[in-house]
Copies of this chain bind each other. A is one copy, B any other.
Amino acid sequence: MTDIAKLTPLVELIHKALESEHLAQAAMLFLRLHPADRADVFELLNEEDRGRILGHLDIATTADLFDELEDQQTVEAAEIISVERLADVLDEMDPDEAADLLGDLSPEKAERAIIEMEDADDVLPLLNYPDETAGGRMTTAFVSLNANITADQAIRYLRQLSPDSDIPYYLFVRDDNEKIVGVIGLRDLVVANPERAIREIMDTDIISISPYTDQEQAARMMTHYDLSVLPVLDEHNHLIGIITHDDILDVIEDEATEDIYRLASVADTDLQPESGTYVQLRGRLPWLLLNTLTALFASWVISIFGDLFVQVAILAFFQSVVAGQGGSAASQNVAMIVRALALGKIEKSRIMPVLIRQLWVGLLQGIVIGIIIGMGVGLWQHNPYLGLVLGLALIGNMLVAAAVGTLMPLLFQALGQDPAMTSSVLVTAATDSLGFFIFLSLAKIFLPMILQYLA
């Protein structure tokens, strides 16, 4: 792959060529690239350069570029060109990408572009489905065959279709009522006896999806069954679109980004390290503000034990150890459960065994860490009872961490929410408050013994 880092010098070259009005040279440099790299270079150009280069690309190249650009970038580029040109580009784009773009444009611009388009029929049905559903991901660029024609007739039919068109590698087979009854790979078509009917060589075991199913489910089906194409059928078993493996790669990457961001309390999953300041604050501050509330609640919990610190200031040194270890252990639990749910690896009947296993692991982790910290601090501060309190509090908070970290994502899932919303802010709210409470309660109980060793 052309590493994105290696594109920078090229961006400079193109920028200089454009600036000195060597438009042909700039276009040549640009066209020499793979379409996917063109999109990367385009995104690195400034707005003025983008406008100049767009003016020098033909319709087909512009369509390829628009197919590859990130959604927001496509919208911005579409604003630069005239509606007539945009309509031509939309006609050439992949139907699913064209539908996404139309959905992102202002309603007026989208309407005008649709009126100007020639092949709007491919695109319009796709506008009915939300972006993150199977219908929103599918394309109408599929080929279907009647079950009664022969392999040879099918191949001749494919030759008739323009060889430029992106015929998918799987062809769907319909009966006389237009219902989908089978699927045949181009491979099986090619190696079959030319005289045999399609219905004799097709695979009747079709794995399909409905248009309103979540894209994540589509991705999971395609991964699980190693499918390179997944047909989308309506309630009458009519084929309305297909999802291809490259769409699914994007879904899987998007879903992983979403999980990673949500677990780290970043609400806006489109956020990039260089995104605008306002966008970053909007996507990050809400969780920190929630964190503010939970942190102040934890402060209030500590304040209940306010007198303790006057008598035993060293408690203030170690209260965060208990809370912190609980938070780390809970994050481990959340990550494992969220990932297992995302990959479909937890079944409902296994929730109790999972919880019991996690509580047991939490108990053992608590015992190990509790003994180490308890003994370490006991010796350091010459105060065995302080060590005992710390050790017991760690065991208690590790159990809290295991319970909260396991149950919270499962609860979110049961409520129909994304389990990754169980972000660090929410679990640490529990492990902090309860961690402080357990530690300081135990300290209060053992206060006379702790005081005895202070002197």
Residue numbers of A with Cβ under 8 A of B are 1, 3-5, 7-8, 34, 36, 155, 158-159, 161, 163, 167, 169, 185-192, 205, 207, 217, 220-226, 228, 245-246, 248-250, 252-253, 256-257, 259-261, 263-266, 271-274, 277, 280-281, 284-285, 287-289, 291-292, 295-296, 298-300, 302-303, 306-310, 313-321, 323-325, 328-329, 331-340, 343-350, 353-354, 357-358, 360-361, 364-365, 368-369, 372-373, 376-377, 406, 424-425, 428, 432, 436
Contacts A159-B190, A225-B36, A313-B310 given: A328-B274 contact, CB under 8 Å?
no
Number of copies of this kind of chain in the complex? 2
| Least CB distance, A351 to chain B, in whole angstroms | 10
Contacts A8-B347, A328-B291, A336-B261 given: A314-B303 contact, CB under 8 Å?
yes
Could you list 27 examples of A-B contacts with CB < 8 Å? Answer: A1-B207, A1-B217, A1-B221, A8-B347, A158-B187, A158-B190, A167-B191, A169-B228, A252-B256, A264-B336, A265-B328, A266-B332, A272-B340, A273-B354, A273-B357, A274-B354, A277-B357, A285-B369, A291-B325, A295-B373, A296-B373, A299-B318, A303-B317, A309-B316, A310-B310, A316-B319, A319-B320
Instruction: List chain B residues, Cβ under 8 A from A264.
Output: 263, 331-332, 334-336
- Of the candidates B298, B335, B357, the one whose C-beta lies within 8 Å of that of A274 is B357
Instruction: List chain B residues, Cβ under 8 A from A185.
Output: 169
Is the pair A336, B191 in contact by a Cβ cutoff of 8 Å? no
Contacts A316-B316, A335-B264, A337-B273 given: A161-B284 contact, CB under 8 Å?
no
Is the pair B339, A260 in contact by a Cβ cutoff of 8 Å? yes
Instruction: List chain B residues, Cβ under 8 A from A310.
Output: 309-310, 313
| Least CB distance, A206 to chain B, in whole angstroms | 11
Is the pair B309, A191 in contact by a Cβ cutoff of 8 Å? no
Distance in angstroms between the alpha carbons of A303 and B312 in the assembled complex: 12
Known contacts A159-B191, A223-B250, A266-B335; 10 additional CB pairs below 8 A are: A158-B187, A161-B191, A186-B187, A245-B246, A260-B335, A273-B357, A281-B361, A302-B316, A309-B310, A316-B319
Is the pair B299, A307 in contact by a Cβ cutoff of 8 Å? no
Distance in angstroms between the alpha carbons of A3 and B214 in the assembled complex: 14
Is the pair A34, B225 in contact by a Cβ cutoff of 8 Å? yes
Is the pair B225, A1 in contact by a Cβ cutoff of 8 Å? yes
Distance in angstroms between the alpha carbons of A252 and B274 in the assembled complex: 24
Distance in angstroms between the alpha carbons of A259 and B260 in the assembled complex: 8
Contacts A5-B349, A260-B335, A328-B425 given: A226-B246 contact, CB under 8 Å?
yes
Is the pair A321, B344 in contact by a Cβ cutoff of 8 Å? no
Residue of chain B at shortest CB distance from A381: B303
Instruction: List chain B residues, Cβ under 8 A from A265.
Output: 328, 331-332
Residue among A321, A337, A425 with the most chain B CB within 10 A? A321
Residue of chain B at shortest CB distance from A309: B313
- Of the candidates B259, B319, B331, the one whose C-beta lies within 8 Å of that of A256 is B259
Is the pair A306, B314 in contact by a Cβ cutoff of 8 Å? yes
Residue of chain B at shortest CB distance from A163: B191
Is the pair B336, A272 in contact by a Cβ cutoff of 8 Å? yes
Residue of chain B at shortest CB distance from A223: B249
| Least CB distance, A202 to chain B, in whole angstroms | 14
